[in-house]
Amino acid sequence: MSRPQFVYVSYIETTPEKLWEALTSSEFTRQYWFGAEVRSDWKVGSPFALTLDGEITDSGEILEADPPRRLSYSFKHQKFEELRGEPISRVVFTIEPFGSLVRLTVLHDGFVEGGKYLGAVSNGWPAILSGLKSLLERGKVLAIPRAALNKGFDAT
């Protein structure tokens, strides 16, 4: 039996290089990821951290970095007690030219059957990626409430 996973595909009017920069630069992530910053040198084996208001919310290790085509890192949630017991998961971004657009596929896997983390991820990623698309195409982010990230589990 296969393990649960989250897959999201979007088409963005941008270049692969600009999308890569938006995924790996805190200057961009602060705008579309509800104020969160990414921290890494983006080399395989290097640490990865996602920080919000100076606090590490998620951490991991760079598993693959092939700019501007593919990025993958392990992902371990740190902030909410309800999610700390969940196993380390994996995020994979695949960036492909698609005519005048770029096709972005996000795969987040490594969840346990019946775990809470898949529900949180399934609500959070669409909000984050919608903001990313809007920022790259229109220069501004949608006004999606930060609470969208917390929906799907009983964190308080």
Summarised one tens digit per residue, pLDDT across range 6-43 is 999 999 999 999 999 999 999 999 999 999 999 999 99
Provide DSSP, 14-63.
Answer: S-HHHHHHHHH-HHHHHHHTTT-EEE----TT-EEEEEETTEEEEEEEEE
Average pLDDT, stretch 115-140? Answer: 93
Find where tokens 């409430």 sit.
145
Q: Is the pLDDT of residue 154 over 50?
A: no
Q: What is the pLDDT of residue 85?
A: 84
Q: What is the pLDDT of residue 40?
A: 98
- The type of residue at 84 is R
Domains and CATH numbers, the chain: 5-149 (3.30.530.20)
- β-pairing, 47-52 with 55-66? antiparallel
What is the C-alpha to C-alpha distance for residues 129 and 115, in angstroms, rounded to an integer? 23
Q: Is the pLDDT of residue 144 over 80?
A: no
Summarised one tens digit per residue, pLDDT across range 60-100 is 999 999 999 999 999 999 988 888 889 999 999 999 999 99
Q: What is the pLDDT of residue 155?
A: 40
